[in-house]
Amino acid sequence: MLEGAPGYSLAVEGRLPGPGAAIEVLDALPPGKDYADKFVYEIAHDGEAVGCLEMVRGYPETDIAFIGLLLFREESQGRGFGPQVLQMAEAICTGWQCRALRLAVIDTNPRALEFWKREGFVELLRKPAIDYAGQAIVMQRGLVTRPA
């Protein structure tokens, strides 16, 4: 998926994705977590992979789920998939009994930052982001309860 969205890697890392970039995403774990808490989903539309979602259950607190990556192929961006996938992520997190979704967006990726703001995420803090082109903006949103 990273190869299908080179603008993402250019914005957040200042370079195109290398041959092992996808494996790095799949292998990366936050401190204190193991693979039983990491979930990666392929997002398909009309039988074609258009994006991916990577989440960690119970990080950084047991009742928070962390979105490590939500990424769409460049030709699939701006087609309304993001809010739909976010709704799916919320349903998953509700099943995990989480109260909120948290993420970090790199400040050199203004398009992503605007998406998360539009979706109701609020900035908690900014911190240095090792191996990235800018600072990490940590954002969070409480889970939305939808009527049945």
Question: Along the 148 residues of the chain, how does pLDDT read in single tens digits?
Answer: 667 676 667 677 767 767 777 777 778 888 899 999 999 999 899 999 889 999 999 999 999 999 999 988 878 788 889 999 999 999 999 999 999 999 999 999 999 999 999 999 999 999 988 887 889 999 999 997 554 4
Residue 7 lies in a domain: yes
What is the rounded distance in angstroms from the CA atom of residue 30 to the CA atom of residue 59?
A: 8
| Spacing of C-alpha 19 from chain mean position | 21
Residue 57 lies in a domain: yes
Quote the tokens at residue 117.
Answer: 């703001």
Residue 33 lies in a domain: yes
What is the rounded distance in angstroms from the CA atom of residue 61 to the CA atom of residue 45?
A: 33
For position 136, which CATH number holds? 3.40.630.30
Residue 84 lies in a domain: yes
135 forms beta bridges with 128
Residue 147 lies in a domain: no
Alpha-carbon dihedral sign for residues 87, 88, 92, 95: positive
Per the structure, the complete domain to which residue 81 belongs is given by 2-142
